[in-house]
Amino acid sequence: MTHSPAPGSLEDILERSGGIPSLTDFPGVDDLLASFTHLADLHPELITTRRIGTSRLGEPIPLFSLGDGPRSYLLFAGVHPNEPIGFRTLQHLATVLATDDALREAFDATWHIIPCIDPDGTRLNEQWYSAPSERTHYARHFYRPAPDEQVEWTFPFAHKQAWFDRVLPETQALMRVIDDVRPDFMVSLHNAELGGVYFYLGTEVDGAVDALHAVPRSLGLPLDTGEPETPTVRAFGTAVYSMISMSEEYDFLAELGIDPVPLISSGDSSSSYAAKYGTVSLVAELPYWSHPDADDDTPSEEPYVTVLHRKADALVETGDALQRIIDAADLTLDTPFRRATSAFVPYLSANGETEHRRADGESIARLASRAEVFSNEDVVRCFRLRYGGMTLRMLDAEVAAGSATPGTRRARAEMQALFAQWCAESETQTELTALPISSLVGVQFGATLAVARCLIDAESTT
């Protein structure tokens, strides 16, 4: 007799995570919202729809609420529009919850879903969504908003001398939803770029680390055991960290003797804002591509300090090269690409200086793991491709508008050559593997249900 795991149990969640249909691309805004509208039309007794706000360019932002259980769960995608795995995750999750009564009843929740919180930024990435396995194609059509134009990082913030209150309309819409539904559990759907899987939790949750480890393991995906995004996060377990905190970032920079105010150019996160309601937040960071070194914890032959200094030098060099090209152009257009490069390019050089200072405080004797060597080196590759691609798009816009001077055209030619060089260097990574989108969706889907299950289990012990 075949054993069927209880709906909503970890065993059931792992089975479901491995059963995501094959996927080859990501949906654009129109297709994404049409799929949710269609699902709501099919299940009017389960799904309600309401407009929660309007984007800066005038696009309506809808919220779909599914079910009527007493627990309140809030999920949203598109907070960083270059991170579209969450679009597919929400499509699959909503479809399963609408069509599987047993699973929906196992969680007894109302699921509030915002398919895309930043439609304007998402449209600027749609050109690579049809071919997401090509890293250089992704970079050439890449767009990531400047920090003060990112929904995730434009919640109100005040800490010592840092202050942010330029809240975006999209962020205001999300704030109103958080204040309205007061989520017990909130999932901000992000993804990384290359390496392994890692997670952020707003607070420690009993059983969550083991459950989160089980999901990618069941799908054959590695955890990322290399350098975390920032040294300020705390590890709850391997590749499971506390949420990034702007106040902790501020204090870390101040302790290094660096003025934090110019570097803290944005606000706080959705997790920080929702914490006043006791909300437990989750972020599952997933790579498009993986590499054997992403989880190789064996020691390299290089001191960790040397690895940090090399990364710092490369970041400064990259920032200086891009800034030189930008300064040589006669820019006339206020485009999203210009605003983004104006923020990110100076950050590269500043981040390099920060890494030099951090390296000076590290033990000279400690050897870096192979994963740490890889992750530090790939930060440089990642930033060169991302911000080189955006700088080129900024210059392309000047040419397309007919406003490019000879200086701008020379700058564009120089940027084309430099970007081609960086792409060629990236393509020497012959061991790079494009991960199946269905597996990436499976991790986000499974991690969401697994942490929700841990929270329900914790209710019975309190």
- In eight-state DSSP terms, residue 401 is T
d(CA 33, CA 91): 10
Stretch(es) of the chain classified as CATH 1.20.120: 298-431
Q: What is the pLDDT of residue 119?
A: 98
Q: Which CATH architecture group holds 10-291+435-459?
A: 3-Layer(aba) Sandwich (3.40)
Q: What pLDDT, on the 0 to 100 scale, is given for residue 253? A: 92
Residue type at 50 in one-letter notation? R
Model pLDDT, residue 362: 79
Residue ranges, comma separated, of all CATH 3.40.630.10 domains in the chain are 10-291+435-459
Q: What is the pLDDT of residue 133?
A: 87
Q: Mind listing the pLDDT tens digit of every residue in the chain (462 residues)?
A: 567 899 999 999 999 999 999 999 999 999 999 999 999 999 999 999 999 999 999 999 999 999 999 999 999 999 999 999 999 999 999 999 999 999 999 999 999 999 999 999 999 999 999 988 889 999 999 999 999 999 999 999 999 999 999 999 999 999 999 999 999 999 999 998 988 899 999 999 999 999 999 999 999 999 988 888 899 999 999 999 999 999 999 999 999 898 999 888 789 999 999 999 999 999 999 999 988 888 899 999 999 999 999 999 999 999 999 999 999 999 999 999 999 999 999 989 988 988 999 888 877 789 999 999 999 999 999 999 999 999 999 999 999 999 999 999 999 999 999 999 999 998 887 788 899 999 999 999 999 999 999 999 999 776
| CA atoms of 174 and 188, how far apart (whole Å) | 11
Residues 260 and 257: their CA atoms lie apart, in Å, by 9
CA-angle at 314, arms to 311 and 320, nearest 5°: 140
Burial of 316-349, coded b for 16+ CB within 10 Å and e otherwise, reads: bebbebbbebbeebebeeebbbbebbebbbbbbb
Nearest to 214 by CA among 15, 5, 455: 15
CATH number of 298-431: 1.20.120
